[in-house]
């Protein structure tokens, strides 16, 4: 599981800071999360292949999380994309994108699917054989979702020595990997535990931005491997955080602690502060494993 | 008159090339022309003051000429802008911007005026005491205008020695600057030519992008000081230029020659070529004063 932060600053694109966008690579899938202005250039700078993006998740319809989407969709057209593209985001996102494509008399040569979200409860919005994605309803000034990406249980690992010893036919390997016991020709039942090893543990990633401090999300992200939680302000501006429905670094760390996640990645910093290290220092007073997000940073969670 | 090219490449923003946007400073006014994705970052990089932009002209609704507009309008809000902002562009631009602001529940604290264009004839769309702006109807895949910025005649310059010699009261200086003759107390009429010098000649700038080769624009831009004309392709790709309704460098130079402009600035290059110098070389076979546009370049026409 690998996370690339294309942009993790609040509000407005600047010369060296970019609005929210990130790429999660998990089980050979590449998910784009949010798409602020300049995302396509950040993808290029970070040498991420446009063609590997098939699913885009948009948390909410504030510009710093989605003004780069229409341009990316247009660039996919110019690149002669053929593969389906799926966009998951709040109701309205389809109207916004299609209106602009219509006025520019541009039509995608690929199928563009919008999955519009309106539920205030967590729901499964993507699922294939390896990954499942659920919404994390957040509290912000407009309708907003975080996203929880969970690996599905991996196959058990074949105990090669054991299956050879019992002379088990290869046809049964799949059954063993999925946890089944094997009955030999002589009627003897070999329990799965003798024929396989536990799979690698599954990983999960929770993206939570933008949101006011909200303990209601804790059960949804309990024990996640990695939590990205916005920290627009420091605790000294807790009043501004509350007023604008954002969080402080301390609040982000508190959520991480309550949810017992392994690592907390901070981001969505206001540019009012002299140094983003201040966010890390504040969060570390509450939670031990704080990773300081920054544009272009790559976190490898293998 | 000063022209800053924020972006002058076709199609899609890349790591080192930007889509169309430029700033024309003329008679202490600052006009933004087109606004591709990333324009606000380019404004910052070029240290141009956001607050000086009060009028934005959008040629057409293709993304590489306007996807940066909604973000710029949003950033003006965050910067707590109070001054009126005027946007001139094709019909539809208002709907596109307001839809996005509505979904993000964002409202400008300043007055935002849209001047939507639909005419296929040249028309005056802006005029104050110093500058006049007219559309230049262009032929492209969708409704498109170029823009002609013309300085209004400046005041005549006072001949200080002459007015002192005739002991003319200061109250008459304004009349002299505007070309009037002066009658002295003794009835003698002093012709204006004795009391003032010719004003500096007025300047004009014609922006023409995107467009197929179109001689119909020549009368509108006749004798302009500076013509920015798109040159998406070289003559070797003249077929592609025609098909996509763009121009070649040679065609841009031909228009410059027919219109008898002083200088031609090239831009809107396709990134397919190894070097933009090729555009200049091709244009110079037709027209002598070719200026090679590039992102971040500033042309001072004083």
Rounded to 10°, the helix B93-103/B69-78 angle is 50
Q: Confidence band (pLDDT; 50, 70, 90) for B203?
A: very high
Length of chain A: 302
> Considering chain B, what is the average pLDDT of its residues?
96
pLDDT of residue A11: 85
Whether pLDDT at B171 is above 90: yes
Check whether B152 has a pLDDT greater than 90.
yes
Q: Are A66 and A36 in contact (CB under 8 A)?
A: yes
- With cut-offs at 50, 70 and 90, classify the pLDDT of residue B136: very high
Contacts of A195 (CB under 8 A, 6+ apart): A158, A159, A162, A163, A166, A168, A176, A182
Judge whether A295 counts as a catalytic residue: no
What pLDDT, on the 0 to 100 scale, is given for residue B240? 97
Omega of the bond prior to B210 within 30 degrees of 0, cis? Answer: yes
pLDDT digits (tens, 9 = 90+) for A28-39: 999 999 999 999
Residue A301, helix vs strand vs coil:
coil
Residues in chain A, pLDDT under 70 = none
For residue B95, which of A273, A293, A248, A95 has the smallest C-alpha distance? Answer: A95
What percent of chain B is modeled with pLDDT above 90?
A: 95
Q: How does residue B107 score in pLDDT terms, banded at 50, 70 and 90?
A: confident
Answer yes or no: are the C-beta atoms of B34 and B57 closer than 8 Å.
yes
- Please check whether residue A268 is in contact with residue A253, taking contact to mean a CB–CB distance below 8 angstroms: no
Catalytic residue chosen out of the listed positions A34, A64, A225, A295:
A64
Q: Per residue in B24-77, pLDDT tens? A: 999 999 999 999 999 999 999 999 999 999 999 999 999 999 999 999 999 999
User: What's the DSSP call for residue B9?
Assistant: B
Predicted pLDDT of residue B280: 98
C-alpha–C-alpha distance, residues A9 and A231, integer Å: 10
CB of A80 less than 8 A from some CB of B: no
Q: What is the CA radius of gyration of chain A?
A: 22
CA angle, B132 as apex, B129 and B138 as ends, to 5°? 170
What is the Cα–Cα distance from A195 to A178, expressed in whole angstroms? 11
Query: What mean pLDDT comes out for the span B72-92?
Result: 97
- The band of B182, judged by pLDDT with boundaries at 50, 70 and 90, is very high
Chain B nearest-CA residue for A79: B12
- Which two structure tokens, joined as six digits, stand for B143? 């409704």
Asked if pLDDT for residue B249 goes beyond 90, the answer is yes
B236 — pLDDT class (breaks 50, 70, 90) = very high
B62 known member of a binding site: yes
Distance from C-alpha of A219 to C-alpha of A122, rounded to nearest angstrom: 11
- pLDDT band at residue B233, thresholds of 50, 70 and 90? very high
* Average pLDDT value for residue range B237-263: 98
For residue B11, what pLDDT is reported? 85
CB contact (8 A) between residue B63 and residue A104: yes
Contact B142 A62 (CB under 8 A): no
- Among B64, B84, B128, B129, the active-site one is B64
Query: Which of A13, A38, A62 has its CB closest to that of B104?
Result: A62
Rounded to 10 deg, the angle between the A277-284 and A249-258 helix axes is 40
**pLDDT value of residue B215:** 98
**Are B12 and A106 inside 8 Å of each other by CB?**
no
Q: Give the model confidence (pLDDT) of B272-284 as tens digits.
A: 999 999 999 999 9
Note the pLDDT of residue A196.
96
- Residue located via tokens 């008159």: B1
**Contact assignment for B104 to A63 by CB distance below 8 Å:** yes
Q: Is the pLDDT assigned to residue B213 strictly greater than 90?
A: yes
Domains and CATH numbers, chain A: 2-154+200-300 (3.60.15.10), 157-197 (no CATH)
């Amino acid at each position: 599981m690998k996370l690339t932060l294309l942009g993790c600053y609040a509000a407005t694109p600047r010369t060296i800071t970019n609005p929210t966008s990130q790429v999660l690579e998990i089980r050979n899938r590449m998910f784009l999360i949010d798409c602020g202005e300049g995302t396509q250039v950040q993808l290029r700078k970070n040498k991420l292949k446009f063609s590997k993006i098939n699913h885009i998740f948009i948390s909410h319809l504030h510009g710093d999380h989605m003004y780069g989407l229409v341009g990316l969709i247009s660039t996919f057209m110019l690149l002669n994309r053929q593969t389906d593209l799926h966009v998951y985001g709040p109701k309205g996102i389809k109207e916004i994108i299609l209106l602009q494509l219509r006025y520019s008399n541009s039509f995608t040569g690929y199928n563009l699917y919008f999955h519009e979200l309106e539920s205030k409860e967590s729901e499964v919005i993507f699922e294939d054989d390896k990954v499942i994605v659920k919404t994390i309803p957040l509290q912000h000034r407009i309708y907003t979702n975080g996203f929880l990406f969970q690996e599905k249980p991996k196959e058990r690992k074949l105990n090669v020595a054991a299956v050879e010893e019992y002379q088990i036919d290869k046809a049964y390997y799949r059954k063993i990997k999925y946890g089944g016991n094997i009955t030999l020709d002589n009627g003897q039942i070999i329990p799965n535990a003798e024929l396989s090893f536990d799979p690698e543990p599954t990983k999960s990633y929770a993206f939570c931005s933008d949101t006011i401090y909200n303990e209601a999300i804790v059960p949804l992200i309990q024990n996640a491997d990695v939590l990205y939680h916005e920290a627009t302000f420091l605790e000294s501006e807790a009043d501004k955080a509350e007023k604008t429905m954002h969080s402080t670094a301390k609040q982000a760390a508190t959520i991480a602690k309550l949810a017992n996640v392994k690592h907390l990645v901070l981001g969505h910093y206001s540019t009012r502060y002299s140094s983003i290290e201040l966010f890390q220092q504040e969060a570390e007073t509450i939670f031990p494993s704080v990773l300081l997000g920054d544009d272009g940073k790559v976190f490898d969670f293998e």
